Amino acid sequence: MSFSESNTFSAESMAHIARIINDINAGVWEYNTDTKQVKWSVGLYAALGYAPGEIECSYNYFFDHLLYYHDKPAFLKTTYHPRHGGSPVAHIRLLTKQNGYQWFENTTKRHETSDGPIIHGVLTNINALKMLEVELAESNFNLAETGRIAKLGSWEIDIATMGLKCSKEMMEIFELTEDVKMTMEDSISYFEPQYRLLLTNIVNDAIRYCKPYDVEVQFKTAKNNVIWVRCKGMPVLNDYGKCVKLRGIFQDIDSIKKKGINMQSSINLLDDQNKRLQNFAYIVSHNLRSHSGNLKFMVNLFEESRQEEDRAEIFSHIKTISESLSATMGHLDEIVKIQSEITRERKAVDFETMFNNVASALQTNITATNAHISTNFTDCRQIDYIPAYMESIFQNLLTNALKYKHPDREPVINITTQKTGTDVYLLFEDNGVGIDMARYGDQLFGMYKTFHRNSDSKGIGLFITRNQVEALGGNIQVESAVNVGTKFTIKLV
Amino acid sequence: MNTEKKIVTAGIVDDDEIFTYGFKKLIINKALFDEILTFANGKEAIDFLKAPENVHHLPDVLFVDINMPVMDGWEFNKAFEEIKSQLGKNIILYNISSSIDLDDIKRAKGNPLIADYILKPIDEAYLAGIAQSLQNPTDLKRYN
């Protein structure tokens, strides 16, 4: 219904069309670029909230008073020839009489007529649509931001095609670009190997038995970063109860999970310490009871005995008990000391010097057993440690290695340090009688636990060593085989 | 009525030499049992019970300590259960210990093989009661 096609309409049709143009809910305008003459339809006034003639109908008035200044370039572009970058449609804001600026869609067309070049256009109010569009963009932005901040992606599998759709945030967690297309199998291959079967199974169960799932697993991103992720899947059912879609979320929970794991290991350590304290209390009670019980026993017997040689023997036992009681008290002191010494200052301890001191104190035992001791502290020569602890650790381990030497061979003892990152390890290896780990492994570091019929086994050394090591945040591990030897691996820091 | 006094043999399984000495001394002084065998740990006792030459010298009652090296009281109880049916004698077992750990007490008392868990220091009157019941064969039936 262009004016220029008037020759195809009768005069009556033309009058009719002019009426229609004035009545439709859109503004129509015409501008002759030579004569600067402007025509506005009634609808254009109406669209802006005016009666015809209420405002000046001119190009200047439109451009200066109605058109929002920011939209001027966009509007001008519609009047250019397409060759010069013109595009016929623009969204512009015009000032209305009562509702402020409103969004309009302006479609422009250029014609060459005998009167000169004419531009005409149609303006439609699209304010409501534009508002929806803005709101949608805003909520999409919010959603994307929420996902990005929560490191939360979403995905959907269409069961019929097994096509996988992933959100932008999910691809970010995968550290892949958005345009990468993945199949279900591709996505599973990003998970750490030990979790792949689990994921395949739960996804299959979700599809087959409509079973939702929620798991926390380890995942390796495209850039080889291993992180903890949470995968939650929820089947979408059709009216027949069959799973047609699987929808879910995929969240990077690495930092929270690692905090949880740290917390758990602290809890385990505390739990261990509690158990050891409880055990310690029982052991102390057991030992003090057995000594005091024996003392009472012997005192009674002494009173009842009339024979001189009996009394002499009983008295010698009473002396032994008295010594054992002192020794037990000494052990108690040592254990209490571990806790009180922990506040002492750590000093630079030189492994070589410290070991030589301990070895010279035990020289008699070393010579007596003809032990071959080799040390290598080149990987880590020094450590910040409580010197008394280090001395005690060396002394206990060396004493043990000599005490539990194999009867058929001379002791060979290897002591080395090892540095792994910031961790310092002390390795202590012997070729002694060894310990049956399956049988005694869990009691090895218990107090007064002895596994050999050695009269000088007291079962206190390893208990103390472990407490010292753990008091400074380390741990101690042991590998042993009967008749082969024992290897202690001590993580000092 | 059996007027002839039955010969009763007791065994003590404990690595604590002082306790073992006192235990023996007490039994001799009070004439609680007629014979007494001593074993330094569970393994020595099991080896003795299993040896064919000892079949006529088996004890009537064994007092077994819990904390011992080589083979402790728990391991002894288990090993004893395995050979019990092959022994020519019904041997009564007691566990003795200084441990007041409830877990230890429950563990011993919960074992149908164990007549009782006796806390050290050992109560003389209680020991005399055991000796008395062993010398009187009618009382003995309550253990069978």
Tens digits of residue pLDDT in A429-445: 999 999 888 877 777 77
Closest-CA distance, A346 to chain B, in angstroms, reads 38
Do the chains contact at A301 and B101, CB–CB below 8 Å? Answer: no
Residues of B in contact with A317 (CB under 8 A): 18, 21-22
User: Is the residue at A260 inside a domain?
Assistant: no
Domains observed in chain B: 14-137 (3.40.50.2300)
Which pLDDT does position A446 carry in this prediction?
Answer: 66
Which pLDDT does position A146 carry in this prediction?
Answer: 86
User: With pLDDT > 90 as the criterion, what percentage of chain B qualifies?
Assistant: 56
Confidence of residue B138 (pLDDT cuts 50, 70, 90): low
Which pLDDT does position A222 carry in this prediction?
Answer: 93
How many angstroms separate the CA atoms of A468 and A50, rounded?
Answer: 91
Q: Which residue of A has its CA nearest to B75?
A: A439
Q: Which residue of A has its CA nearest to B27?
A: A301
Q: Which of A262-276, A295-309, B62-76 has the lowest mean pLDDT?
A: A262-276
Which pLDDT does position A233 carry in this prediction?
Answer: 94
Tens digits of residue pLDDT in A62-113: 999 999 999 998 888 888 777 776 778 999 999 999 989 999 999 988 888 8
Closest of B28, B36, B45 to residue B10, by C-alpha: B36
User: With pLDDT > 70 as the criterion, what percentage of chain A qualifies?
Assistant: 95
Domain boundary among A341, A370, A402: A341
Confidence of residue B110 (pLDDT cuts 50, 70, 90): very high
Closest-CA distance, A483 to chain B, in angstroms, reads 15
Confidence of residue A2 (pLDDT cuts 50, 70, 90): very low
Q: What is each CA distance from A242 to A200, A202, A207, A232, in whole angstroms?
A: 19, 16, 8, 19
User: Is the residue at A101 inside a domain?
Assistant: yes
Confidence of residue A459 (pLDDT cuts 50, 70, 90): low
How many angstroms separate the CA atoms of B16 and B41, rounded?
Answer: 9
Which pLDDT does position A338 carry in this prediction?
Answer: 76
Closest-CA distance, B89 to chain A, in angstroms, reads 30
User: Is the residue at A261 inside a domain?
Assistant: no
| A409 and A488 housed in the same domain | yes
Confidence of residue A3 (pLDDT cuts 50, 70, 90): very low
Q: Which of A321-335, A379-393, B55-69 has the lowest mean pLDDT?
A: A321-335
Do the chains contact at B120 and A282, CB–CB below 8 Å? Answer: no
| A303 and A371 housed in the same domain | no
Helices and strands in chain B, H and E counts: 6, 5
Closest-CA distance, A316 to chain B, in angstroms, reads 10
pTM above 0.95, yes or no: no
CB A212 within 8 A of CB A234: yes
CA B65 centroid distance within chain: 9
Question: A16-30 burial, b if ≥16 CB within 10 A, otherwise e?
Answer: ebeeebbebebbbbe
* A46 contact partners, CB below 8 Å, separation of at least 6: A25, A27
How many angstroms separate the CA atoms of A410 and A272, rounded?
Answer: 37
The residue type found at A234 is: M
Residues of A in contact with B25 (CB under 8 A): 301, 305, 310, 314
Domain boundary among A90, A125, A160: A125
Which pLDDT does position B144 carry in this prediction?
Answer: 44
User: Is the residue at A193 inside a domain?
Assistant: yes
| A242 and A322 housed in the same domain | no
User: Is the residue at A117 inside a domain?
Assistant: yes
Do the chains contact at A321 and B18, CB–CB below 8 Å? Answer: yes
Which pLDDT does position A6 carry in this prediction?
Answer: 47
| A388 and A400 housed in the same domain | yes
Closest of A327, A407, A392 to residue A362, by C-alpha: A392
Closest-CA distance, B85 to chain A, in angstroms, reads 26
| A164 and A198 housed in the same domain | yes
- Asked if the C-beta of B26 comes within 8 angstroms of chain A's C-beta atoms, the answer is yes
Picking from B98, B123, B124 by the largest number of A CB atoms within 10 A of its own CB, the best residue to mutate is: B98
Which pLDDT does position A8 carry in this prediction?
Answer: 63
* A97 contact partners, CB below 8 Å, separation of at least 6: A48, A49, A50, A54
Do the chains contact at B100 and A321, CB–CB below 8 Å? Answer: no
| A329 and A433 housed in the same domain | no
Confidence of residue A193 (pLDDT cuts 50, 70, 90): very high
| A335 and A353 housed in the same domain | no
Confidence of residue A455 (pLDDT cuts 50, 70, 90): very low
- Asked if the C-beta of B95 comes within 8 angstroms of chain A's C-beta atoms, the answer is no
Confidence of residue A346 (pLDDT cuts 50, 70, 90): confident
Out of B21, B69, B97, name the one closest to residue A450 (CB): B69
User: Is the residue at A473 inside a domain?
Assistant: yes
- Classify burial at B51, counting beta carbons within 10 Å of its beta carbon; exposed 0-12, middle 13-18, buried 19 or more: exposed
Which pLDDT does position A483 carry in this prediction?
Answer: 92
Tens digits of residue pLDDT in B97-109: 988 888 889 999 9
User: Is the residue at A131 inside a domain?
Assistant: no
**Whole-complex ipTM:** 0.81
CATH code assigned at A154: 3.30.450.20
Which pLDDT does position A224 carry in this prediction?
Answer: 93
User: Is the residue at A136 inside a domain?
Assistant: no
Residue position matching structure tokens 């049916």: B85
Residues of B in contact with A320 (CB under 8 A): 18
**Mean pLDDT, chain A, integer:** 87
- Asked if the C-beta of B9 comes within 8 angstroms of chain A's C-beta atoms, the answer is no
CB B64 within 8 A of CB B45: yes
Domain boundary among A314, A341, A368: A341
CATH code assigned at A389: 3.30.565.10
Closest of A333, A313, A320 to residue A291, by C-alpha: A320
- Going along A50-115, which residue ranges are E strands? 89-95, 101-113
Confidence of residue B34 (pLDDT cuts 50, 70, 90): very high
The domain containing residue A117 runs over which residues? 3-125
| A172 and A109 housed in the same domain | no
| A276 and A384 housed in the same domain | no
| A69 and A56 housed in the same domain | yes
| A445 and A481 housed in the same domain | yes
| A386 and A311 housed in the same domain | no
Which pLDDT does position B14 carry in this prediction?
Answer: 94
Tens digits of residue pLDDT in A21-33: 777 778 999 898 8
Residues of A in contact with B41 (CB under 8 A): 453
- Asked if the C-beta of B143 comes within 8 angstroms of chain A's C-beta atoms, the answer is no
- Asked if the C-beta of B140 comes within 8 angstroms of chain A's C-beta atoms, the answer is no
Q: What is each CA distance from A183 to A13, A44, A180, B96, in whole angstroms?
A: 61, 54, 10, 69
Tens digits of residue pLDDT in B38-51: 999 999 999 999 99
CB A475 within 8 A of CB A469: yes
Q: How many CB pairs under 8 A join A and B?
A: 66
Which pLDDT does position A452 carry in this prediction?
Answer: 55
Which pLDDT does position A155 carry in this prediction?
Answer: 93
Where is mean pLDDT largest: A143-147, A154-158, A263-267, A269-273? A154-158
DSSP code for A66: I
- Residue bearing the bigger pLDDT, A350 or A331: A350
Out of A289, A310, A451, name the one closest to residue B120 (CB): A289
Report H helices in B5-123: 17-30, 42-50, 73-83, 102-109
Based on the structure, what is the number of domains in chain A?
A: 4
DSSP code for A63: I
How many angstroms separate the CA atoms of A446 and B101, rounded?
Answer: 15
Out of A317, A450, A451, name the one closest to residue B18 (CB): A317
- Asked if the C-beta of B18 comes within 8 angstroms of chain A's C-beta atoms, the answer is yes
pLDDT beyond 60 at A451: no
